[in-house]
Amino acid sequence: MRDPSPTPVRTAEPYRWRWLILAVMIVAEIMDLLDASIVNVAGPDLEKSLGAGSVGLQWVIGGYALTLGAGLVLGGRLGDRYGRRRMFLAGLAAFTAASLLCAAAPNTGTLIAFRLLQGTAGAMLLPQGLGLLRENFSGPELTRVFAIFGPVLGLGGIIGPVLGGFLIEGDFFGLGWRSVFLVNLPVGIAALIVAAKFVPRKAGDRTVRVDLTGAALVMVSCALLVLPLNQGQEEGWPLWTWLSMAASVAGFALFALQQRRTAAAGREPLVTPGLLRKPAFTVGLGGIALFFGGLIGSQLVLTLFLQIGRHFTAGEAGLGNLPLAVGTAIGGAVSGAFLADRIGRKVLQVGPLVQLAGAAVLWRELDGLDAASFSIWDIVPGVTVAGVGAGMVIAALFSFILAAVDDDEIGSASGVLSAVQAVGGSIGVAVFGSVFFTRAESGDFTGGFRYALIVQACLLLVFLAITFLLPRKGRPEEGQHGGTPTATAEGPGAAPPLTV
């Protein structure tokens, strides 16, 4: 007689070393994100060592973000096809090697080229982390992982200027600015060894097609936009700069058309075409670019003002960014814990208003400053208030934009948002750097800072108008963990949104 009791289903044991995988992902990706801001305080040292001018500095800082953003969605798709472990190891090895090349650069042009290469390697590395975590964690553990992964990544942009200032001012072994790149070597090599040993092998899906035409259109369009913004001010805005920006707009329009035709032909596009037909999502892309362009650009101007205008050392300028970081952390905590759920979309409107209030306080603080007796404490209130407003927006923005997309589109949408955020930061570096140096070249550093505040205020007002077109409620918590896509979200370019 058969036993009527059902045979228990044997569930697969969780991978033994899965928490070590989380540690490696966090270390490697913080290293990647750190390099977006760590060189902000290296301007005077680069000028002394390599003769880097204002345009060269903008390219060294913004070039990394440009190639990182332009390649993020492609990097996610390559991970789908060739396997996330393989692409993670390749990206990490290339990133570490590019860091060594940056440290050894003999001149500004070479350093810029290696920074572009470093950003490209980062674009291959960064999207793989989320996919690897999805492959090795599930259920409640995955929720815990996201709760750790998202906020920790946000530390990369915050500690970048502080760590960069410490390394440059310490001048360890006489390396100066080169140490901000060399610090990646031991970390990268150690992460590479651990990842190669403990990240399990899982084959990619060779049926996935990589849309190289779409990737090329994105990269060329981004370059056509950032190139004139970096070079235009120094060259007097000749005709080619305007033609280049117009060609960039046409290139992005062509990309959207090409993605729709690719999907209609039964092939896999880089970006889910349905996303581009959602007004709230496309408007949100503009909001992401405006907000992060203004935030990252103004953070750079603060550092330049402290170093060039008030002769702070690299270490002092790095610490000068702490009020902004502290304010951002406070604003993010308040927004995430209380405001976003209670007042919904209004948190995205309160945030920029608080930033504008901080900019107004900072404007007043700049009145009558004595360069000889200037201290960072003179501007701490305004910078901190602006940081609080920024943190309120950062904590909630991705959730409200992702609320406009369907569940099966979250992976693709998140990759696109991350890419636009990075490219927006690169544009912000170009625009705000040009605005500041327009006045700084004549010695009016305070005027340059004020001009930057005006530009940021204009961007914040446009962003404020855009927020009224976003969904009233953010994406439900079960579909959004710590600012990252859900565990079930699949799609090209699935990457955690970058933060600063």
Residue type, 336: G
Residues 350 and 462: their CA atoms lie apart, in Å, by 14
Which domains, from first to last, does the chain contain?
18-202+209-479 (1.20.1250.20)
Per-residue model confidence (pLDDT) at position 489: 35
Query: Range with the lowest mean pLDDT among 76-85, 340-349, 353-362, 482-491?
Result: 482-491
Instruction: Name which residue leads in pLDDT, 464 or 7.
Output: 464
Per-residue model confidence (pLDDT) at position 494: 46
Give the Cβ contact number of residue 267 at 10 Å: 10
What token pair was written down for 69?
């953003």
Our CA dihedral for 236, 238, 243, 249, rounded to 10 degrees, sits at 0
Give helix 410-440 / helix 445-467 axis angle, nearest 10°. Answer: 150
Per-residue model confidence (pLDDT) at position 408: 74
pLDDT in tens, 175-230: 999 999 999 999 999 999 999 998 888 887 788 888 999 999 999 999 999 999 98
375 has a pLDDT exceeding 50: yes
386 has a pLDDT exceeding 90: yes
- Model confidence at 337, in pLDDT bands (50, 70, 90)? low
Are 405 and 486 in contact by the 8 Å Cβ rule? The answer is: no
Residue matched to tokens 């800072």: 449
**pLDDT average, residue stretch 414-426:** 89
What token pair was written down for 59?
């390219």
Per-residue model confidence (pLDDT) at position 106: 94
pLDDT in tens, 273-285: 788 888 889 999 9
Q: What is the pTM of this model?
A: 0.86
Are 472 and 463 in contact by the 8 Å Cβ rule? The answer is: no
Give the chain's largest Cα–Cα span.
97
Residue matched to tokens 């800082």: 61
Residues 52 and 109: their CA atoms lie apart, in Å, by 9
Across 187-222, b (16+ Cβ under 10 Å) vs e yields bbeebbebbeeebeeeebeeeeebbeebbebbbbbb
Residue matched to tokens 């291959």: 124
24 has a pLDDT exceeding 80: yes
79 has a pLDDT exceeding 80: yes
Residue 159 sits at φ, ψ, to 5 deg, of: -85, -10
